C-alpha cells in the first residue's frame, strides 16, 4: 500500500468554443475542441493519521487566491472519490500551482482531475474509469477532459468527449494577465451581449479538424474561434491590445483562452514561440508569458 502519490496535470485551451443559448439549468450547450497544453499543476495526496480529516495547502503562483477549505474543487474531488471508494478521508493535499488562477485555462478543474487520478492510485481497484468520469462530470464541465488530455471535442456542457485525431504537436505562447475573470461572469456577459438575438445551437468546424489531422499550424491558426472572446473583451477591453501585440509579433493566430483573460498564440515552431514570448514580455501588457506545447496527456501519476 502506498502512502503518498504525486500527480501532474496540464492546463487546457479551447481551439474552438461555440456556445449555444442559455439552458434552463444555467449552463450553455457547447461544441468545443479542448487541447491540453504543457503548463502544469502538481498535486500530492498523503495518508495521515486516523481522525485528521482532509487538509489542503496551496503553493506556487497565485497560491493565496486559491481556497484551502471545501470551496477547493480538489478537496471536493477527494471527498467524493473517498465516498465512492469507501475509504477514509484522512488525507493531506498539497497543490503546487503553475496554471493561472481564474485564467480560462481550467486550473481548478485540472486540480480536481489530478485529485481523482491520485485517489485511484492510492486505493487500487476501488475506482473504475467510469467512476472517475462520473465524479469528474459532476464536479465541473472541464474536469472529464483533464482526466485524459490530448485533443478532444466536448459537447453537452463540455463533459461529453470524443477524441480528435491530431498529427504532431503545436507550439503555443500563453500570455497571463494580472487579474482573473469569473467564468460565470463571462458567460453572463455573453448572454447580455446576445440578449434579444436568436442564438443558434453550437456548431463544430470541419476545417479545424482537418487542420489538426494534417498537423498544419497555419491552417489551424485560421480556424481558432471562441464565442466567449467578445464577452471577455467586453469585460476587459485591454485584452484587445494583448491579442494585437501577439499578431504584430508574428504569431500565426491568437485567441482568448476559454473565458479568459489568458490569451494563447500559435507559433510556427518552438523557436518562433520563444521569440514571440520575449516580445510579449517586453510589451508590459501581461503579467507573465510562457511557452507551452500541445497536445499533452491529462492527469498522470509521476511518483
Binding site for ligand C5P (CB under 6 A): 26-28, 30, 140-142, 157-158, 183-184, 187
- Tell whether the torsion through CA atoms of 278, 283, 288 and 289 is positive or negative: negative
138 or 278: CB nearest ligand C5P: 138
How many CA atoms does the CB half-sphere of 154 hold within 13 Å?
Answer: 32
Q: How far apart are the first and last CA of the chain?
A: 14
Smallest separation (angstroms) from ligand C5P to the CB of 76: 11
Catalytic status, residue 142: yes
**Other CB atoms closer than 10 Å to residue 59's CB: what's the count?**
11
Q: Which of 56, 182, 48, 34 is nearest to 115 (CA)?
A: 56
Interhelix angle 239-248/270-283, rounded to 10 degrees, is: 130
171 or 183: CB nearest ligand C5P: 183
Phi (first) and psi of residue 203, to 5 degrees? -135, 155
Catalytic status, residue 62: no
76 or 291: CB nearest ligand C5P: 76
Smallest separation (angstroms) from ligand C5P to the CB of 90: 27
Write out the three cell numbers for 283. 510589451
Contact by Cβ (8 Å): 171, 266: yes
Give dist(CA 184, CA 72) in Å, integer: 17
Smallest separation (angstroms) from ligand C5P to the CB of 141: 3
258 or 295: CB nearest ligand C5P: 258
Smallest separation (angstroms) from ligand C5P to the CB of 101: 14
Q: Give CA separation, 171 vs 114, 219, 251, in Å.
A: 24, 14, 10
Give dist(CA 171, CA 164) in Å, integer: 18
Q: Give CA separation, 147 vs 72, 190, 202, 234, 297, in Å.
A: 18, 28, 24, 32, 8
Smallest separation (angstroms) from ligand C5P to the CB of 27: 4
22 or 68: CB nearest ligand C5P: 22
Q: What is the DSSP letter of 203?
A: -
Q: Which candidate in 41, 62, 111, 142 is catalytic?
A: 142
Contact by Cβ (8 Å): 291, 273: yes
Write out the three cell numbers for 32. 468545443
26 or 53: CB nearest ligand C5P: 26
Instruction: State the catalytic residues.
Output: 12, 142
Amino acid at each position: 500500500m502506498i502512502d503518498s502519490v504525486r500527480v501532474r496535470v496540464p492546463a487546457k485551451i479551447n481551439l474552438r468554443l461555440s456556445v449555444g443559448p442559455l439552458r434552463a439549468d444555467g449552463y450553455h450547450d457547447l461544441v468545443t475542441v479542448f487541447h491540453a497544453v504543457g503548463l502544469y499543476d502538481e498535486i500530492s495526496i498523503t495518508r495521515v493519521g486516523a481522525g485528521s480529516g482532509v487538509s489542503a495547502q496551496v503553493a506556487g503562483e497565485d497560491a493565496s487566491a486559491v481556497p484551502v477549505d471545501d470551496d477547493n474543487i480538489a478537496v471536493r474531488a477527494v471527498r467524493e472519490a473517498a465516498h465512492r471508494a469507501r475509504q477514509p478521508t484522512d488525507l493531506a493535499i498539497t497543490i503546487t500551482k503553475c496554471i493561472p488562477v481564474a485564467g480560462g485555462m481550467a486550473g481548478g478543474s485540472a486540480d480536481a482531475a489530478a485529485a481523482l487520478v491520485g485517489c485511484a492510485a492510492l486505493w487500487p481497484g476501488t475506482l473504475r474509469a467510469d467512476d472517475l468520469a462520473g465524479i469528474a462530470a459532476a464536479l465541473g464541465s472541464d474536469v472529464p477532459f483533464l482526466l485524459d488530455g490530448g485533443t478532444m471535442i466536448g459537447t453537452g456542457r463540455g463533459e461529453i468527449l470524443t477524441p480528435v485525431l491530431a498529427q504532431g504537436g503545436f507550439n503555443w505562447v500563453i500570455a497571463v494577465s494580472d487579474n482573473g475573470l469569473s467564468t460565470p461572469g463571462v458567460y453572463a456577459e455573453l448572454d447580455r451581449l446576445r440578449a434579444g438575438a436568436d442564438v443558434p445551437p453550437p456548431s463544430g468546424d470541419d476545417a479545424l479538424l482537418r487542420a489538426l489531422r494534417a498537423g498544419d499550424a497555419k491552417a489551424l491558426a485560421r480556424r481558432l474561434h471562441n464565442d466567449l472572446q467578445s464577452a471577455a473583451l467586453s469585460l476587459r477591453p485591454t485584452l484587445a491590445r494583448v491579442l494585437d501585440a501577439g499578431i504584430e509579433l508574428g504569431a500565426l493566430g491568437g485567441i482568448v483562452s476559454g473565458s479568459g483573460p489568458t490569451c494563447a498564440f500559435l507559433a510556427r515552431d518552438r523557436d518562433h514561440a520563444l521569440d514571440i514570448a520575449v516580445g510579449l514580455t517586453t510589451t508590459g501588457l501581461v503579467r507573465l508569458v510562457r511557452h507551452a506545447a500541445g497536445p499533452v496527456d491529462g492527469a498522470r501519476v509521476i511518483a
